Every structure is written in structure tokens, then in C-alpha cells.
Amino acid sequence: MFTTGSKFLIGASVMALIATLVYGIGQGGVLGTVGLTSATVALIGLATLNALLRDSNVFSDDEAPVETSSAAQFSPPSSVWPLGFAFGSVVIAVGLISYQPIVVIGLVALVVTGGEWAVQAWAERASGNVEHNAAVRSRLSNPLEYPVGGAVAIGIIVFSFSRVMLWLSKTNTTIAFSVLAAVVLAIGFAIAYRPKMGAGAVGGVMAVGAVAVVAAGAITGLDGERDIPEFETTSIWQEEAILHPTEYAEGAEEGKHPAGLICESPEEFPEADERASETVASKSGSYQVFLTEDETLAFDVPGPIEEGPAGMVIPRSNPTNVIFRNESDEHRRLSIDFGTETLEVEGEDTEVRHQICTTLIEPGGAQLLTVEADLPTFSADGIVNPNGPGGEEGDGFWLFVPGVDTATLELIVP
Amino acid sequence: MRDSETGTSLNHVNLPNRRARTLKFAALATAGLFVAGCATNAPQDTTDPAGTNAQQIYDLSWPIFAIAGLVGVIVFGVLAFVIVRDRDRGQPIPEQTHGKPKLEIALTILPALILIGVAIPTVGVIMDLDDTSDTECVVNVTGQQWWWEFDYPVQDGCGGITEPIVTSGQMVIPADTNVLIRGTSRDVIHSFWIPRLNGKRDMVPGRVHNLRMQANEPGIYAGQCAEFCGLSHANMRMEVVALDDGDFETWKANQLEDYESPTSEAALRGETSFVTNCSRCHQIDGITDADGVPIVSRPDQQVYSGAAPNLTNLMTRNTFAGASWDLINQDYRDEVWEASPEEFGDLYLAGVTDDVFNEVDLREWLRNSPTKKPMYTDPLELEATDGLVRGMPYLALSEDQIDDLLAYLLERK
Ligand SMILES: [Cu+2]
């Protein structure tokens, strides 16, 4: 007969042995293997000793009191927690010598199984009645077990969903999950209209669904995410063109993207322009610039005053949100040219144009552009802006639409 | 120990006496509190509206205060009555009643009716104060630690503005005109509040908030930032100056006048000193370098908010540094503030002249601004802002430099 104590030690020995083999073969490490082997040998020794001494319990081989002694009246049901606890300990040991993050799993296992074990041991002292003891245990543990268990389950499902979503393409994700949502809704209706449907059937459907989701998540997760290219913005393109002109020109020649500055180009640039219109809510507090149907720029600023035709005034050194609305029939972007600035380009101080712009916006679309002008307009007095309407009047800062010569609007910064 | 009034020993004070004393104290304290509310010089007084918007708020608040006061008096009166009548004298507990539907319904309907009665005019006023369709003039107001900037965009309103005007501390508006403030902030949330002209409005970075402003008569109206905004929140004041139409035209024309080069030796040295020490933060429009190229300030590279007051027409205002100190002496200040609406315009437009110039405070400011107004400018403590200051730093100027700068600044009008 194996005594209680020796069972624990035998279990630990077996786990240690497995750990030794796994680690020894997997890692080929010397020091760790030596440690684990020593632990295994020590545990086997302890287990043997314990089995021989029968937990130092003189009564354990005395048959007589087994039926009559009060201790014999109630034997608690077998429990998985000690096993889990031992498992946790071994995982921690393995983690410590092989791969650190595993330690966390071991710790979690240790805390959870240790806690459960403690609660169960406590509940089993409540009475001699197994059912009553189970109820005592539940009363203490369930309020914690259900929410935590539920959260973990939801976490697993959400994580599985996310893996599937990242595996499918953007469009397919939308389709797949619309369909899934419809199915869930249909099942919900079915259950609601057939209240007599057996609990087993409902549970079965749920279980199948859960397994399917988790399985799909596991498979797609292992296969990895779809290609998610680095999100390129108009400002990154602008920066590339200015700071790395040689590389940029090569890229253009190879046809990877149009040539020239993006803010001066009516053409579509990869990635930045693919995401076109990020539709924005019209807020009363925002400045708005319209590309009208007859291809001119009009603007509307907060407050009801029709400001003079001179141009749109924004405060200096203050990020101002400007909504661009494309009311023309073409894909267009709104650009702003703040004159020149001096930057170090490939080791040399170079005069470059300071420009910002939206992405190409589809007809009817809109996008928010945050504009901050740190210099006043008069800093560019008398310097003709190539993106303005031309002529002497064309100095200062200008809003313009690449590809539409008629669309210019002066930006005035006091 | 003897009680001076009754002459009895405190240990043996009898009850009625003690109660009388407590009552006397309470009466005195209340009176004191009441008297503390009186002040001859209280320019930020919501109960003294000077424009249609504040008037509407005031006209609404009185009746509501009266209703709320009446309800309060009744409730506390009943409570006091019950407390006194049923105070414990060893009598049995009075009859406890529960469930008198008529009374309960009445006590539900009555407050509801009162609330509805209060809500209807309140909502009306809120909507009126939100209406911007009658705007006749737009001013952009930008708050930053710890001063307000006012810029007048090009517009048909305000009698026509053809070139933007930028000023700070004092917002000049035409009197008897519906002005619309388009407010925002460059750093943290501030709140614009001129109690005699309208309620307060938070100014949130990245958003534009509208606020109506209208003053019936020419005059000067004080206010201050009403949203805690850091170290010198208390020194973030502002004033609205209302001028009649003619005077406002004069003010506008003056703001847009071309730059006048200094005339005196000292002022010329001051100009040079300004370019070296100040122009990296402060803009003076029209000032050029030796080659005639405009000198452009870069406060965005120096100051956290990205802005510093435009000093082109410093001496056309009466105050500086968040309207916290005067550029004019006390006597002249009193004259301006107490002027009748007819006299006010001339006094204000005269600006800061030699004989009314309050040199002391501006000198102290240039000598060491952070000791005058608490600001984050210690170079050792600017890590969080990448070396940018919040406020104007100590510039280690010599007294001679300050003399020259003052001479130069005094001509900026
Ligand atoms: Cu403030």
C-alpha cells in the first residue's frame, strides 16, 4: 500500500524525472541536468524511505481500526489540487533553469491550485458529510471561481477572435464576422422562440461553437498575422522625399511611387493614400476648407462672420484643426505650403519647402488636418510662393490643391 | 477666570446667560460675514452687469435665488418648528404615520412644478447666450500660462479689419457691439471670465469655444482666468476695454501703424538690446535687421506654450504680464477706471506717456520676472519640457540695459 506522503513524493519524482529528460535532451545543458538529476535522485530516495516507513504512521498497517476508528468514518474524496500543486512546482523549477517566462505559468498554477487545495482542506473539516463539505467549499470558492473563470474564458475567446481577424484580410474579416454575428443572432432567436429546447442541445451548440472558435484561433494564430505594412502617412512621404532625395528618386524610377513631393502631387501614393478619407464628424469648433464643385477653395471658420476674402486666419503657434471637404468630382488632397525652411539634407544645409497635406480624399470625403504655423505670414513677405496663385500677390503661405490651379487660398498667421 | 460681561465666574455661568452669549456671537459672525461682502472696489461683480449677456444672467438669477431662498426658508422653518415642538421632554414618541398618498403626490408634484418653472427661463437664457447669429465682430482669444492673447482676424466685422491685429492682456472691443470670442488654449485648460459682461467659458486646447461679449458703454471691465492652470493661475488676469466706434477705429489704426524707429540714444541702444535679449521670444512687428530683413521671433523654440506676448504696441495697453501689473501709475489708473463713458476713450487712448508711466513694476519685471510672477523658468527644472520655459525667464540684464530697454519700450505705441 502506498501511503499519502509517499504518493506525493512519487509524483514529484516522476515529474522531476520527466523534467530531467526533457531538459537534458532539449537543452543539452550540463549544469541544469546535473541539478535536475540530483533532485530526481533525492526525491526517489525520499519516496522510497517514506514508503518503507509508511509516513511514520504505526497504525497504517494495522487492519483492525480501519472500520471502527472515528478516523475511518469519513474519507474525503480524492482531489486533483495536490497534483496540480506539484505540477506547478516542477514547472517553476523547469522554468527557472530553461525559459524564464514559463515560471509565470508555474506561479499561476501554484497559486491557483494551492488556494483551491487550502480551501478544500478547510472545507473537508467542516463535517463528516461529503455533500455538506462540498457546499461549504462552493460557498467560499464560487464567488471567485465563476468571475475569474468567466473572465479567462472570455479572454480566450476574444484572443481567438483576434487571431482569426488578423489572419483574414481586412475585407474578409468584415464579411466573416458579420456572418458570424448574424448566426449568433439567429441562434439566439431560435433559443428564445423554442423555450422548450433541451438544455443539453443548447449546451451542445455552445460547446461546439466554443471549440470551433478556440480551434480556429489556435490554427490561425500559429499561421501568423496577415501582412500589415508599416502605416505610411503623407508626412512620412514628404520627409522621405526631402531627407533622402537620392533613394526617393530611385524608388520613383522603379515605379514604387510617383515622383515629386506628395504634397504637390495629385497622384496616389502607396499606403498613405489607400486609406483615403477618415471621415470626421463636423464639429462646430473646427475650421473647414472646401474644394468646391467649380474647383476653388472656400473656407468656413467657427463663428458666423463672413471673413474678408483675403484668406483664412489661424492663430500662430497653436495647433488648429482644419477639416478638408472634397466636394469636387476627383480624388484630391489639400496641401499647405509654409514657404521654405533650412534642413540638413545628406550632410548639407538645404532650403526645402515646408509643406503638409491630407491624403487623397475621394469625392464627398473629408479629412482632418492639424495645422500649426510657428512663423507669422510677414516672415514670408515679398517671397513668392510657387504654390500660390503666382504673381506678386502670391507671397506668404498658401493652401492649395495639387492638380487644380484654380484652387488656392491664403493662410494668414498674425 | 471671570466673564467680563456678567461678572460671574465661568464655572458657574447659568444656562440662559451662556445661550445669550452664543447668540450674540452668532449674530456678530453673520454680520461680519455680511459686511465682508461689501467693497467699494469690486470690479469683478456679477451683480453689477454692464452688458446684455451678463444682464440676462443677472435677471435670471434673482428670481431663481428668490424661489430657492423661499423654499429653503420654508424647509428649514418646518424643520426648526418640528425640532422645537417635539424636542425630548420625556414625552412618548409622537404618532408615526406612513402612506398618505395625497400628501405624497402633492409633495412630488409641487417640487416638479417649481423645477419646471425654473427650467423654462433657464433653458431660454442658455440658448440665448449660445446664439451667435447676431455677431458683429470676431476676436480670437487664446489662453496660455499665464496670460491671454487676443487676435483680430481679417473680417468685415468690427468695422472692417484688413490686417490681423495681435495684442494681449487687454481685449479692446467696440462698445454696444455683439462681439464673438473664439477661444482656445495653447497648453492647459483655462477659463475666460469677465463677470460684468458674461459667464465663464473654459478654453480647451485643440478646441474652439464661442463666447458672446458685449458692453453697453465705453469702460474697462476686469476678469481673471477661472480654471486652475498652474503656478501663476492667480496672476492670469485680463481686462475688456470697450471704446465707442470712433475711438475703436483710432485704436485699430494705431495698432496697424508702421514700425517707428527709436528716436533717442537710449532707445536706440534699447532696440539693439531687444534684438539680442528679447526678440527670440517677443515679436515686434516691423523691426528689421541691418539688411532690412524682418526679425521673426521663435517663441515655439523657447516657451512651452509656443507663444510670448507681442510687444509691438505694448504701451497702448495699461497693464502687462497677464494684466497683473500696471504700466500706468496709480493716480492715472484711478482716473481711467473711474472715468465716465464719455471721457473714458480719450483717457485710454492716450496710452502710457512719460508722466503717467509706472516704471517701477516694469523695471522689476525686466530685472527678474520669475520673482515678480511665479513661473517655471529655472533651467534646472525644465527636463519635463525639454528645456522650454513656462513664463519669462530671468535674463541677467544690467541696470543700464534695463534703462535702455525701458526707453525703447516706452516708445512702443
Ligand atoms: Cu489660466
B335 CB within 8 Å of a chain A CB:
no
> What phi, psi does A15 have (nearest 5°)?
-60, -45
Q: Mean per-residue pLDDT for B44-65?
A: 93
Residue B118 domain-assigned (yes or no): yes
Q: How confident is the model at residue B89 (pLDDT cuts 50, 70, 90)?
A: confident
Residue B158 DSSP one-character state: T
Paired sense of beta strands B179-185 and B209-213, if any: antiparallel
pLDDT averaged over every residue in chain A: 83
A303 CB within 8 Å of a chain B CB:
yes
pLDDT in tens, B333-385: 999 999 999 999 999 999 898 899 999 999 999 999 999 999 988 888 888 88
Q: How confident is the model at residue A64 (pLDDT cuts 50, 70, 90)?
A: low
> Which residues have CB under 8 Å from B96's CB, separation 6+?
none
Q: Mean per-residue pLDDT for B140-153?
A: 93
Q: Mean per-residue pLDDT for A374-403?
A: 85
Locate the domains of chain A by residue range: 4-72, 148-228, 234-412
Residue B21 domain-assigned (yes or no): no
Q: How confident is the model at residue B19 (pLDDT cuts 50, 70, 90)?
A: confident
Per CB-CB distance under 8 Å, the chain B contacts of A302 are: 182, 208, 210
Kindly state whether residues B121 and B173 are assigned to the same domain: no
Q: Quote the minimal CA–CA distance from B311 to chain A in Å.
A: 13
Higher-confidence residue of A371 and A283: namely: A371
pLDDT averaged over every residue in chain B: 89
Judged by CB atoms closer than 8 Å, whether chains meet at B208 and A412 is answered as no
Q: Which residues 213-252 in chain B show a CB within 8 A of chain A?
A: none
Q: Mean per-residue pLDDT for A251-257?
A: 86
Kindly state whether residues B72 and B187 are assigned to the same domain: no
Question: Cα–Cα distance between B188 and B204 in angstroms, integer?
Answer: 7
Bridge partners, residue B237, by sequence: B224
Q: How confident is the model at residue A122 (pLDDT cuts 50, 70, 90)?
A: confident
Q: Quote the minimal CA–CA distance from A296 to chain B in Å.
A: 20
pLDDT of B68 higher than 90:
yes
- Of B116, B131, B146, the residue at which a domain comes to its end is B131
Question: Cα–Cα distance between A306 and B154 in angstroms, integer?
Answer: 10
Q: Mean per-residue pLDDT for B77-98?
A: 85
CATH topology of domain A234-412: Immunoglobulin-like (2.60.40)
pLDDT in tens, B311-341: 999 999 999 999 999 999 999 999 999 999 9
Identify the residue whose cell numbers are 483680430: B152
A60 CB within 8 Å of a chain B CB:
no
Which amino acid is located at B125 in the chain? V
- Search chain A and give the residue with CA nearest B308: A317
B288 CB within 8 Å of a chain A CB:
no
Residue A270 DSSP one-character state: T
Q: Produce one character per residue of B45-84: b if its CB has 16 or more CB atoms within 10 Å, e if not.
A: eeeebbbbbbbbbeebeeeeeeeeeeeeeeeeeeeeeeee
Question: Cα–Cα distance between B275 and B277 in angstroms, integer?
Answer: 6
CA-closest candidate to residue B167, choices B319, B392, B296 = B319
Q: Grid coordinates standing for A390?
A: 503666382
> What phi, psi does B4 have (nearest 5°)?
-65, -30
Instruction: Please give the pLDDT value at position B188.
Output: 93
In order, the DSSP letters of B301-338 are GTBTTS-----TTGGGSSEETTTTEESB-HHHHHHHHH
Judged by CB atoms closer than 8 Å, whether chains meet at B132 and A414 is answered as no
CA-closest candidate to residue A315, choices B306, B21, B23 = B306
Half-sphere exposure at residue B116, Cβ-oriented, CA atoms within 13 angstroms: 6
CA-closest candidate to residue A334, choices A245, A257, A234 = A234
A319 CB within 8 Å of a chain B CB:
yes
Instruction: Please give the pLDDT value at position B8.
Output: 45
**H helical segments located in B326-377:** 330-338, 341-349, 359-372
pLDDT in tens, A307-322: 555 788 888 888 888 8
Instruction: Please give the pLDDT value at position A306.
Output: 63
Q: Mean per-residue pLDDT for B175-204?
A: 93
Kindly state whether residues B102 and B183 are assigned to the same domain: no
Per CB-CB distance under 8 Å, the chain B contacts of A286 are: 208
The CATH number for B395's domain is 2.60.40.420
Half-sphere exposure at residue B369, Cβ-oriented, CA atoms within 13 angstroms: 23
Half-sphere exposure at residue B5, Cβ-oriented, CA atoms within 13 angstroms: 6
Half-sphere exposure at residue B381, Cβ-oriented, CA atoms within 13 angstroms: 6
Helix, strand, coil proportions of chain B in percent (round to 5)?
A: 40, 15, 40
pLDDT of A57 higher than 70:
no
Distance from the alpha carbon of residue B147 to the mean position of ligand 1, in angstroms: 7
Kindly state whether residues B226 and B280 are assigned to the same domain: yes
Q: Mean per-residue pLDDT for B150-157?
A: 87
Out of B138, B294, B307, name the one closest to residue A305 (CB).
B138
> What phi, psi does B124 have (nearest 5°)?
-60, -45
B190 CB within 8 Å of a chain A CB:
no
Q: Quote the minimal CA–CA distance from B256 to chain A in Å.
A: 12
Kindly state whether residues B62 and B165 are assigned to the same domain: no
pLDDT of B2 higher than 50:
no
Q: Which long-range contacts (C-beta less than 8 Å, at least 24 apart) are formed by A106-110?
A: A109/A84, A109/A85, A110/A85
Kindly state whether residues B140 and B125 are assigned to the same domain: no
Higher-confidence residue of A51 and A176: namely: A176
Instruction: Please give the pLDDT value at position A167.
Output: 87
Angle at A235 between CA A233 and CA A239, to 5 degrees: 120
Q: Quote the minimal CA–CA distance from A398 to chain B in Å.
A: 16
pLDDT in tens, B218-247: 999 999 999 999 999 999 999 999 999 999
Q: Mean per-residue pLDDT for A222-247?
A: 79
- Search chain A and give the residue with CA nearest B296: A379
Residue B177 DSSP one-character state: S
Q: Mean per-residue pLDDT for A286-291?
A: 87
* Number of folded domains that form chain B: 2
pTM of the model: 0.69
The CATH number for B71's domain is 1.10.287
pLDDT of A59 higher than 80:
no
- Of B131, B166, B182, the residue at which a domain comes to its end is B131
Q: Mean per-residue pLDDT for A283-306?
A: 79
Q: Grid coordinates standing for B284?
A: 515686434
Residue B38 domain-assigned (yes or no): no
Q: Mean per-residue pLDDT for A402-410?
A: 89
Kindly state whether residues B166 and B95 are assigned to the same domain: no
- Of B108, B131, B154, the residue at which a domain comes to its end is B131
Out of A285, A305, A315, name the one closest to residue B155 (CB).
A305
Question: Cα–Cα distance between A14 and A89 in angstroms, integer?
Answer: 13
Kindly state whether residues B57 and B175 are assigned to the same domain: no
Q: Which domain holds residue B234?
A: 136-413
**Secondary element (H or E) of residue A121:** helix A101-123
CA-closest candidate to residue B224, choices B334, B362, B326, B323 = B323
Q: How confident is the model at residue A366 (pLDDT cuts 50, 70, 90)?
A: confident
Kindly state whether residues B327 and B402 are assigned to the same domain: yes
Among the ranges given (A5-19, A105-119, A359-373, B28-42), the one the predictor scored with the smallest mean pLDDT: B28-42
Kindly state whether residues B163 and B299 are assigned to the same domain: yes
Q: How confident is the model at residue B303 (pLDDT cuts 50, 70, 90)?
A: very high
Q: How confident is the model at residue B10 (pLDDT cuts 50, 70, 90)?
A: very low
User: Number of Cβ pairs closer than 8 Å across A and B?
Assistant: 92
Instruction: Please give the pLDDT value at position A49.
Output: 83
CA-closest candidate to residue B365, choices B324, B304, B313 = B324
Q: How many CB atoms lie within 10 A of CB B101?
A: 7
Distance from the alpha carbon of residue B146 to the mean position of ligand 1, in angstroms: 6
Q: How many CB atoms lie within 10 A of CB B285?
A: 21
Residue B296 domain-assigned (yes or no): yes
Residue B34 domain-assigned (yes or no): no
Question: Cα–Cα distance between B237 and B168 in angstroms, integer?
Answer: 11
Q: How confident is the model at residue A304 (pLDDT cuts 50, 70, 90)?
A: low
ipTM greater than 0.95, yes or no?
A: no
Per CB-CB distance under 8 Å, the chain A contacts of B208 are: 285-287, 302
Instruction: Please give the pLDDT value at position B90.
Output: 83
CA-closest candidate to residue B41, choices B266, B333, B256 = B333
The whole-angstrom distance between residue B188's C-alpha and the CA centroid of its chain comes to 17
Q: Quote the minimal CA–CA distance from A353 to chain B in Å.
A: 18
Q: Mean per-residue pLDDT for A290-299?
A: 90
pLDDT in tens, A127-138: 877 888 888 888
Question: Cα–Cα distance between B335 and B317 in angstroms, integer?
Answer: 15
Residue B5 domain-assigned (yes or no): no
Kindly state whether residues B279 and B303 are assigned to the same domain: yes
Q: What is the 3-state secondary structure (H, E, C) of B275-298?
A: HHHCCCCCCCCCCECCCCCECCCC
Instruction: Please give the pLDDT value at position A197.
Output: 76
Question: Cα–Cα distance between A90 and A87 in angstroms, integer?
Answer: 5
Q: How confident is the model at residue B4 (pLDDT cuts 50, 70, 90)?
A: very low
Q: Produce one character per residue of A273-289: b if its CB has 16 or more CB atoms within 10 Å, e if not.
A: beebbeeeeeeebbbbb
Quick check: B238 and B323 in contact, CB under 8 A?
A: yes
- Search chain B and give the residue with CA nearest A287: B208
Kindly state whether residues B111 and B141 are assigned to the same domain: no
- For B286, left (φ over 0), alpha (ψ -120 to 50), or beta? left
Identify the residue whose cell numbers are 458529510: A129
